[in-house]
Amino acid sequence: MAKRIDVSGLTAYYGSHKAIEDISMTVEPRSVTAFIGPSGCGKSTFLRTLNRMHEVTSGGRVEGKVLLDDEDLYGSGIDPVSVRREVGMVFQRPNPFPTMSIFDNVAAGLRLNGSYKKSELADIVERSLKGANLWNEVKDRLNKPGSGLSGGQQQRLCIARAIAVEPNVLLMDEPCSALDPISTLAIEDLIGELKERYTIVIVTHNMQQAARVSDRTAFFNLAAVGQPGKLIEIDETERIFSNPSVQATEDYISGRFG
Amino acid sequence: MSTATVTPKGPSTLRGARLPKWAPYAIAAGSVAAAIGVGLAGGLHSRVQWGLIAALLYLVGTYGIATAVEGKRQAKDRIATSFVWVAFLLAVVPLASLVWSTVARGVKVLDVYFLTHSMGVVADTEPGGGIYHAILGTLEQVGLATVIAAPIGVLTAIYLVEYGRGNLSKAITFFVDVMTGIPSIVAGLFILSLMLMFDMEPFGFAGSLALAILMMPVVVRSTEEMLKLVPNELREASLALGIPKWRTILKVVLPTSIGGITTGIMLSIARITGETAPVLLLVWGNAFINANPFEGAQASLPLYIYQQYANSAGSGAAYDRAWAASLTLIAFVMLLNLVARGIARWKAPKTGR
């Protein structure tokens, strides 16, 4: 299931503005990789290039290579829709579909892809909700609208929706920034369980969170406002937080900037 | 700090003198009474003048009394509130009087017989007859216009919001704006010129085409606004699940905004239902029942109202029929609005637990 991601020489633009420049890294399968760095340094942009969501933004384009187990996501003839089925995504703000019930939200990916058997649907929904640690809270109200859940529950619903289509990689863009500490803990525990089966990449502003959940951490920074963001270093999380090889990383982590 | 400039205001500086709650009503009653007095004394016959004098007295009175009792700032607040109320009444009074006179004069001949019979051989000056043929004509013409304009309008809006970039979408937006400003008679003349080119007789569908021209830009505009209200996060959530764009639009964007889109379509239907000019040019009117919109002249409600009034030659029966038809038309449009509201509420994204 889980696949390795190899990025080499990746540069992304918004129109003529260069958002990130020349990023190369490897994301190991069955592990959690965290991206940290100041706001505007291109963490989210980089994350969105990994499932071709960057080009959804008007003017968004990408140069370079992203290999998903030896297949270039930006190669010719690659269908972005198929890429997104392999590489799922969870967003900063919980965004369940407001017109759909809890059940339909989880089933949405399969139904709208047309790739499911009717008899399996209920099983898949149950398995996904259990996988997102939400089943016990919602099993009696699967037909109620998803927007009636609390923020933390909605975010877990979105995770269930993302894993229902069985992606190989799960990208998370600050999944806990809109949540309280208890919901955050629930999601972090969930990430720990999910990494047994998926490759997980998580963007976070919370350095404790990065230290808690991730195996490897990448630090991004930008030289100045308006300059493109760059990857400063990527290493084992333990090393990044105890003995980083670049001074800028240590400054950022210890709270000394500039 | 000199305390000499501060005038003592009593025990608390937070509590100033306030007009009692009934003060605005008292001022209103007083100004109405004064206006009646002025009107009678000055020999003004028009009730409208009385009303305007009352409104003016109310504004001046409110400001004066509030300044004297409460101070300048509160007086400004009061006068702003009064302006809003006066403006509201000025807008509502004509509307209420219109509805009142239509109902009062319309109910005289409005009955089941009136709704289920055509004019047939009843002469315009005689009593009797009905509007069945006109209702039928209106329903068919407006229905066909909707069938043409609603899909084109909605699809155009989807293109503009979801796909449109660059010059083509700018051009479309511009022409939609231009179309919004087309006078209905011009739309009618446009279709009429085509009809004359092909040497055709008046028929209902020609009216539908002109009405569709008038309806389309309204549908585009309202649908566009509704689609823009759908949060981008929902589109991204759907795309990130590996759902193709067209299915995202069909299954996520449209269901989220369907309530608003339907309301917009209903309101644009209400707008074209009252159009007279293009129908007059293209459909002509017909005293008999013609259920076929593709052949022969048809009637329609606004046209019927106009013709009854124009051909009445002072006959009371024709006037009564015109008013009754107006009442029917207003009731029909109001019904459409209610249905639109009902659909909007029913289809609104649910938030309940």
Name chain A contacts of B238, Cβ cutoff 8 Å.
97, 108, 112
Question: Per the domain annotation, does B126 fall within a domain?
Answer: no
pLDDT of res. A27: 93
Which of B82, B103, B124 is where one domain is finished? B103
How would DSSP label each residue in B267-285? HHHHHHHT--HHHHHHTB-
pLDDT score for B83: 93
Question: B256: nearest CA in chain A?
Answer: A99
Indicate the DSSP class of residue B7.
P
Q: Does the domain formed by A5-98+168-254 have CATH 3.40.50.2000?
A: no
The residue whose two tokens read 């004394």 is B41
Give me the pLDDT at residue A53, please: 93
Nearest CA in chain B to A83: B242
- The C-alpha atoms of residue B262 and residue B268 are separated, in whole angstroms, by 10
Find, in chain B, the residue whose alpha carbon is nearest to that of A48. Answer: B240
Chain A positions with Cβ closer than 8 Å to B:
51, 53, 56, 58, 81-86, 88-89, 91, 93, 95-99, 108-109, 112-113, 144-145, 147-148, 158, 161-162, 165
Inter-chain contact B240–A85, Cβ cutoff 8 Å?
Answer: no
**Lookup: tokens for A173:** 């863009």
Contacts of B351 in chain A (CB under 8 A): 98, 145, 147-148
User: Does B332 share its domain with B227?
Assistant: yes
Share of chain B above pLDDT 70, in %: 95
Cβ contact, residue pair A91, B352, below 8 Å: no
Of B165, B234, B242, the CB nearest to A165: B242
Q: Are residues B179 and B289 in the same domain?
A: yes
Whether B110 is covered by a domain: the verdict is: no
Give first-to-last CA distance, chain B, whole Å: 59
B93 within a domain of the structure (yes/no):
yes
What pLDDT digit, counting tens, does each position of B56-83 carry? 999 999 999 988 888 888 889 999 999 9
CATH number at residue B162: 1.10.3720.10
Q: Is residue B238 part of a domain?
A: yes
Only one residue has tokens 């949540």, namely: A179
Asked whether residue B200 falls in the same domain as residue B246, the answer is: yes
Whether residues B241 and A165 touch (CB distance < 8 A) is answered with: yes
| C-beta separation of B281 from B192 below 8 A | yes
Structure confidence at residue B6 as a pLDDT band (50, 70, 90): low
Which domain-ending residue is among B61, B83, B103?
A: B103
Q: Are B211 and B327 in the same domain?
A: yes
Q: Which residue has the tokens 């216009």?
A: B145
Shortest CA distance from B347: residue in chain A: A99
Contact B238 A108 (CB under 8 A): yes
Choose the closest CB to A95 out of B234, B349, B351. Answer: B234
- What's the complex ipTM? 0.90
Residue B258: inside a domain: yes
Domain count, chain B: 2
Q: Closest to A97 (Cβ–Cβ): which among B240, B252, B353?
A: B252
B95 with B36, same domain: the answer is: yes
Clarify whether residues B150 and B284 are in a common domain.
yes
Write out chain A residues lying below 8 Å of B247, CB-based.
112
Nearest-angstrom CA–CA distance, A249 and B291? 80
d(CA A190, CA A7): 26
Q: Which two tokens stand for residue A132?
A: 């997102």
Phi, psi at residue A109, to the nearest 5°? Answer: -60, -45
pLDDT band at A258 (very low <50, low <70, confident <90, very high): very low
Helix and strand totals (H; E) in chain B: 14, 0
Whether residue B2 is contained in a domain is answered as no
Which residues, listed in sequence order, are joined to residue A145 by a DSSP beta bridge? A101
With beta carbons less than 8 A apart as the criterion, state whether A244 and A219 touch.
yes
Highest mean pLDDT among A181-185, B211-215, B347-351: B211-215
Residues of chain A with Cβ-Cβ distance to B349 below 8 Å are 98-99, 145, 147
> Is A126's pLDDT higher than 70?
yes
Within a domain: B203: yes
Task: State pLDDT tens for residues A24-63.
Answer: 999 999 999 999 999 888 899 999 999 999 998 888 899 9
B236: nearest CB among A53, A83, A85? A53
Interface test with A, best of B161, B243, B347 (most A CBs within 10 A): B243
Structure token pair of residue B106:
């319309």
Q: Is the pLDDT of residue B353 over 80?
A: no
Amino acid at B18: R
Q: Give the range of the structural domain holding residue B71, as residue numbers without chain letter.
A: 23-103
Lowest mean pLDDT among A16-30, A114-128, A145-159, A226-240: A114-128
- Locate the chain B residue with the closest alpha carbon to A59: B165
Sheet of strand A5-14: strand arrangement: A71-72, A60-68, A5-14, A17-27, A229-236, A216-222, A32-36, A199-203, A169-173, A87-90
**Widest distance between CA atoms in chain A:** 58
* Whether B235 and B327 share a structural domain: yes
B228 and B184 assigned to the same domain: yes
Enter the pTM of the model: 0.85
pLDDT of residue A107: 92
Contact B256 A82 (CB under 8 A): no
The SS3 call for residue A113 is helix
Contact list in B for residue A86 (CB cut-off 8 A) is 242
Chain B CB contacts of A108 under 8 Å are 238, 241, 243, 251-252
Chosen from A81, A104, A138, A169 to mutate, greatest number of chain B CBs within 10 A:
A81
Question: How far, in Å, CA of B170 to CA of B173, rounded?
Answer: 5
Instruction: Tell me, yes or no, whether B182 and B259 share the same domain.
Output: yes
B102-122: per-residue pLDDT in tens? 999 999 889 999 999 898 888
- Average the pLDDT over B207-229 and give the result: 95
Nearest to B222 by CA among B158, B136, B307: B158
CB within 8 Å: A108 and B240: no
Chain B residues with a Cβ under 8 Å from any Cβ in chain A: 165, 231, 233-244, 247-248, 251-252, 255-256, 349-353
Q: B86 and B232, same structural domain?
A: no
Buried b (16+ CB within 10 A) or exposed e, B146-179: bebbbeebbebbbebbeebeeeeeeebbeebeeb
Contact state of B242 with A109 under an 8 Å Cβ cutoff: yes
In this complex, which of B241, B255, B352 lies closest to A161 when CB atoms are compared? B241
> Do both B87 and B151 map to the same domain?
no
Structural domain includes residue B8: no
In this prediction, residue B205 has a pLDDT band, given cuts at 50, 70 and 90, of very high
User: What's the CA gap between A152 and A132, in Å, rounded?
Assistant: 11
**One domain for residues B190 and B310:** yes
Q: Taking Cα atoms as reference points, which of A52, A15, A90 lies closest to residue B245?
A: A52
CA–CA dist B159, B227 (Å, integer): 11
Kindly state the tokens that stand for A238: 């333990």
